[in-house]
A and B are shown apart, each in its own frame.
Chain A
Amino acid sequence: MITPQNLFRHELIGLNVEIIESSHEGIIGIKGKVIDETRNTIRVELNDGNESIIAKNVAIFHFQTPKGEIVEIDGKILVSRPEDRIKKKFRKI
């Protein structure tokens, strides 16, 4: 089960995402579905069918869990290979 507590260790592909804050103004407000993930980037499919690649460490994301809860996550926590995120340690701020 994807819950707000284990979302940063869980699978991001398939979730809805929105970017609310970034050091680069052009990508603020992008909305869509995550379709791929690498160490430093995620690939988002927009509602009109185009795709865009977004760097993780410059943005703050709003992920939507399958139950409908919205979780805010700083992208700097997510920087690591997708299979290594399961064992990542993180202290709550």
Chain B
Amino acid sequence: MTPRVLLKGGRVVDPSRKVDARLDLMMAEGVVEEVGPRLAARGATVIDVKDLVVCPGFIDIHTHLREPGREDKETIATGTRAAAAGGFTAVCAMPNTEPVNDQAGITRAILERARVEGVVRVYPIGAITRGSAGEELAEYGDLKEAGCVAVSDDGRPVASARVMRRALEYARAFGLVVIDHCEEPTLGAGATMNEGPVSTLLGLRGAPAVGEAVVVERDIQLAELTQGRVHIAHLSAAASLEAVRRGKARGVSVTAEVTPHHLFLTDQAVKDTEYDTSTKMNPPLRAEADRRALLEGLKDGTIDCIATDHAPHTVDDKKVEFDQAAFGVVGLETAVALGLDRLVATELIDLPRLVALFSTNPARVLGLPGGSLAPGSPADVTVLDLKRKRQVDPARFESKGRSTPFAGWILRGGPVMTIVAGKVMWRER
């Protein structure tokens, strides 16, 4: 039997119930038992969280755990440790493993490994198409039954509108959301960064932002046609945001996420770092006008979630010429601190909105348990300290991946404790 745990004296921020007050939180049997003022300990283990913020556990809706197949880049063990150290109590694992998670057997193997070695909850995402080859639909019924919470061909955009249409239609039968990496495959062929004045000066081949926006628009139109549910992964362009805003306004079932690197950096970073490969990811860092539009979308609610797109790679994959380097950077251990320092401390958004973006909304978008501290909810809790200052030091990451464009940044505020099912899984030392 798990011991009862009482978090005492914290500021409880639970956007699911519009709570923001100094309250105690009692957890028992892996669920939230009670939230209220001055709760009696009644034999529970008491953790003093005075001056700290208590939130429903953060869920990263877009993580690459790399297992099975690329354990040299990350494993379920190291990836979930990184998640816990970044304040996440759950991660949604993208299916572009080797082999691709396109069958129930692979889903079950991932979940079994997560049960044995995982530190936080792992929600697998299944493939949209077999082998993510973009042709035949994967078996959504089986995948859902085995535990997949959504489908996506992330990293391998669904090129065919016909296949996307069928996926949106078929997924309806299982209540699955289709998550799309929106990228028109020919416009940015061979590109290594955003197309614009900076790519011109650097002499690098660029992918224009419209290559994303045309597919976002396509997906929204198809979701409207099919009454399906589409979620736009790592939205990066102002024009894509506008498409989502219009789609939402006319009632299309579309949601969207953004990553911290697209919120806090632009393509100028590639130049400023003199081609450092920690600025190379897909979608690429965009222009300042795009970045400003994304911040606006966070404020007005067009953006539903902040997701890391945590994409660990080996040193060998990144320590090469810029155009030879792998796309992607790690994000689990920096996202929350970046949000607190760059969004909340700067008053771009308030703290409850940030918690919604990291917790309540990801749970709502994919229909996951959690995202709330209502009695009976999973006892998944993220505890934040708004005052502590830390410098981002990749050498201290739990993740095997070390490539981050935020190395050296000094961030005020960050996670200090991660509780999963009533158990403290990580605590800052």
Q: Do A and B bind each other?
A: no
Interface residues of A (CB under 8 A from B): none
Interface residues of B (CB under 8 A from A): none
